[in-house]
Structure 1
Amino acid sequence: MNIKYYLAVDIGASSGRHILSWIEDGKIKYEEIHRFYNGMDDEGGHKVWDTGRLFEEILTGMKKCHEMGKAPASMGIDTWGVDYVLLDKNDNIIGSTYAYRDSRTDGMDDELYKIISEKDLYARTGIQKAIFNTIYQLMACKTKEPENLEKAESLLMIPDYLHFLLTGVKRQEYTNATTTQLVNPETNEWDIELIEKLGFPKKLFGKLSMPGTEVGDLSKEIQEKVGFNCKVILPATHDTGAAVMSVPNTSEDVLYISSGTWSLFGCELEKANTSETARSANFTNEGGYDHRYRFLKNIMGLWMIQSVKKEFEAGYNYTSGDGCSDNAEAADYSFANLCARAEKETIDSIVDANSELFLAPKSMIRAIQDECYRTGQPVPVTPWEISRVIYRSLAACYKQAAEEIEEITGKHFDSINIVGGGSNAEYLNKLTAGATGKTIYAGPSEATAIGNIGAQMLSDRTFADLNAFRQCVFSSFGVKEFK
């Protein structure tokens, strides 16, 4: 049987994976071909990305496809949002490729608001304030490294740059571009007037391309390295945009949580909501497939549990905070066990999971303990107590976000569809159902990669439209239900 394969390269803040997919008996099938580490490096006191290392991992996974005799017909790359590279006239990266958790943006909101107020900026872009947004990163560049902006001939978001390395073709993809806080939600193009007002070079911002757009063939050099040629197709290159494409419920009365390092909680709107009410509640209007708007709130998400897991595994002495636990190697700190053991604990402390206290603390464990102490609540000590506090805190944030969405949109939502890796956290799913009073549908867990594949299949006319693709996702993977 002649099978047509589609390759999704899905890169998150902590890992990347190559997912190869195809249609079989009317259902979407997939297999993981390659998985690799990703993480921020420390360089000169800054947090940065090693794009060279990432690209080598992309090529490694592509070579494995060839070795397996499963060369894809097309491929696409998605990553997190907001981060970018600046290229000079020779297409070399200028300066460092900063990571969004780097502190160089501290105070850049005050600098930016000297030019345009926070209120006016939201009314103009519909994007929630987050100090790591590209707009603040570029303000930091303009303020601290102006020579880099002066030398720059191109600006590419991280997946745009990786696509460029594969093809030699530069395209700026729409969904990721909206995370810059520099796109006009009425025109769905760069807000050039705003860009010039802020003093950013106009030449860096070209025509935006939608998910499903063909970038081009692999360059001859890349073909020789990986052993095949294929089309490079733009997915929704922002991972949340890809994940939301695969939400398997086509009803308008469903909320979604794209649950990974971040929890992205929201609904889909046909038109951006740039009201003052939405701004005050810190909701964002990110661009989605077919110019749908992802009206959502960023919640800290599994970053907190990922961080404490690393500390436990490294031997953090959670009773004193200054040494190694004697039984660190013997304990099971898998996500599944942390979740299961947390459910058996009784501590009821809750922290604001969306607080900047938990964005990049030196120790996530200590940050949680200190905040519980500061607010007069019982302080968690064991890994299982700390995990329980995290899961309960996330559920409380979900409840608040659901109430805010219903108030702002005037709609009632009966259910929440959780997609991504967090859909496997059954204790968190139960807590969310209890906190919100809504039915929880959990799955698929590989939502981002499946959504990436969906854009490629839609481009290839495998499906008539997004709803047809979503129906196939539901029939292919199903969901678990929690009430």
Structure 2
Amino acid sequence: MERSALAVDIGASSGRVLLGELKNKKIELKEIHRFKNKIIKKKNSKNQQEDCWDIDHLFKEIINGLEKAAAKNIEAASVGIDTWAVDFVLLDKEDNRLGNAVSYRSHRTDGLMDQVFKKITREEIYKRTGIQFLQFNTIYQLYYLAQNEKELLAQAEDFLMIPDYLNFLLSGTKANEYTNASSTQLFNIENNDWDHKLLEKLKIPENIFHKPVEPGTKLGQLKKSVAEKTSFSDLEVIVPAAHDTASAVAAVPAVDHDFAYLSSGTWSLMGIESDQALVNKKALAYNFTNEGGVNDTFRFLKNIMGLWLIQEVKRELDDKYSHGQLVELAAEAAAFKFIIDPNDDRFLNPESMIEAIKSFCQETGQSRPETVGEIARAIFESLAFEYKLVIEQLEEVSQKEINKLHIIGGGVKNEFLNQMIADLTGLEVYAGPVEATAIGNLLIQFKANNWISDLKEGREIVKNSFAIKRYKINDSAADYDAAWDRFRKLKSINGGN
């Protein structure tokens, strides 16, 4: 059998099943199947509408991808699944789902953080978990259930995050994967296990959680019904870094340690790789997170709203413009005319992203952007400023000198934004690969299958397998100083972080 594995990589808007073949110390990547993902409206046990994931659709498409692979006579050794973090399903004692697979963009957790802080302080939660405070974290989703759907939570036997559940449907094995578990703000950073004190304080049943397993754990082969349907008789289900950002960071083509990474997609995840958690007053003040990484590392990073902003503008305009056309319109618009705070809560899931951006500008003493180009440029410039700010905060908290920035993910294609990042930060900026998440997923499988020795070897292979573009500082670039001062003042007025 060739050294081949399948990576299932599912994001907020689409999913992919890709084949990764390891040949002559290089990875050949082939797309087998691509499918759409979107938030749907479903009613909960209280007959209220919720923003949810169509989890049955996602599993059906995974099966479709495996069937296509089998039809191509692909002899893969294993398959691994990664998705976004924080969201989950609950199962009853007969393995039936309880309730919906609710999306983190649901408004059910609005205002709940302050309620939780009355039971256990913000400082204590951060000390115990090291996780950034975001209103949609799993801790607040489960607290919502404990307060509003007690009967549902009382019936629960298993808590499985989205990739955990999909793995269970493939293999029949229930397990919580470590990198994803660490994102929940219910995971104790010192004990490396679920935090019993937090669970007890918030009346979340402890028995529903499984002891987390490390990336690279083999869950077993496809269960019989799946194997028969897909014609794969001996496909091993291997847990990669199931948190998509953890997989993406594993694929950063870096050989030195003086780098930061920017996983640029629907969300922007910006941070450094650290051998130890960085939990202190400054990290808390800047709202950084310490999520589990591969090989006993931590991903010290910050979640930034990211390209969701422009994706929603594109959708709201009925996809009249391609992403490339939106970039072109932005490049033609006047520089630094409008600035927003990308992390303002109003941008999480507004009814109209365009109106949210216009109203933010108006409320902060600016005029309202009117053209599509002005709105797009405001997004890209504001994201670049946010990245510069986070780089400065990373260096301050970690006491680490950052000389290089590796951009990975879909944002690699946005050359206008990437050049702006290089000009603004003054760093050596390297962009690529686009499919970093799937590649990192594959690297974990390769290591589990004993095809590579360690992550360092894997990153060398990535570096030699995919085109990486370097962005040099443009000496003729616009003067950023005045706009940077405006952005800093705006952030300060708007809450700072």
Matches within 5 A, 1:354-369: 354-369=343-358
Shift of 1:336: 1.6
Alignment pair present for 1:379 and 2:384: no
Q: Deviations over 1:264-302 (max 9, x none)?
A: 000011111111110110100010112210000000001
Structure 1 runs of 4+ with >3 Å offset: none
Q: 2 CA distance for matches of 1:126 and 1:250?
A: 27
Matches within 5 A, 1:257-406: 257-313=262-318, 328=320, 333-348=321-336, 349-406=338-395
Q: CA RMSD in A?
A: 1.1
Structure 1 residue identity aligned to 2:431: A
Q: Deviations over 1:432-470 (max 9, x none)?
A: 111111111000000000000010001111111111100
Tell me what 2:175 maps to: 171
Matches within 5 A, 1:128-277: 128-229=132-233, 230-277=235-282
Moved more, 152-161 or 110-119: 110-119
Tell me what 1:442 maps to: 431
TM-score with structure 2 setting the length: 0.92
Alignment pair present for 1:472 and 2:477: no
Which runs of 5 or more structure 2 residues have no equivalent in the other structure? Answer: 44-48, 473-497
Tell me what 1:7 maps to: 6
Secondary structure, counterpart of 1:441 in structure 2 = strand
Conservation of the 8 A alpha-carbon contact between 2:9 and 2:81? yes
Structure 2 residue identity aligned to 1:280: A
Shift of 1:381: 1.7
Shift of 1:76: 0.5
Q: Deviations over 1:345-401 (max 9, x none)?
A: 214211000111110011111111111122222432222221111100100100100
Structure 2 residue identity aligned to 1:301: G
Shift of 1:173: 0.3
Q: Deviations over 1:220-247 (max 9, x none)?
A: 0001110113000000000000000000
Moved more, 267-276 or 377-386: 377-386
TM-score with structure 1 setting the length: 0.95
Secondary structure, counterpart of 1:297 in structure 2 = strand
Conservation of the 8 A alpha-carbon contact between 2:3 and 2:451? no
Q: 1 CA distance for matches of 2:202 and 2:209?
A: 13
Q: 2 CA distance for matches of 1:135 and 1:397?
A: 26
Q: 1 CA distance for matches of 2:358 and 2:17?
A: 37
Conservation of the 8 A alpha-carbon contact between 2:2 and 2:76? no
Moved more, 195-204 or 292-301: 195-204
Secondary structure, counterpart of 1:208 in structure 2 = coil
Conservation of the 8 A alpha-carbon contact between 1:210 and 1:290? no
Alignment pair present for 1:125 and 2:129: yes
Count of equivalent residues: 465
Secondary structure, counterpart of 2:317 in structure 1 = helix
Q: 2 CA distance for matches of 1:463 and 1:26?
A: 9
Structure 1 residue identity aligned to 2:303: N
Tell me what 2:419 maps to: 430
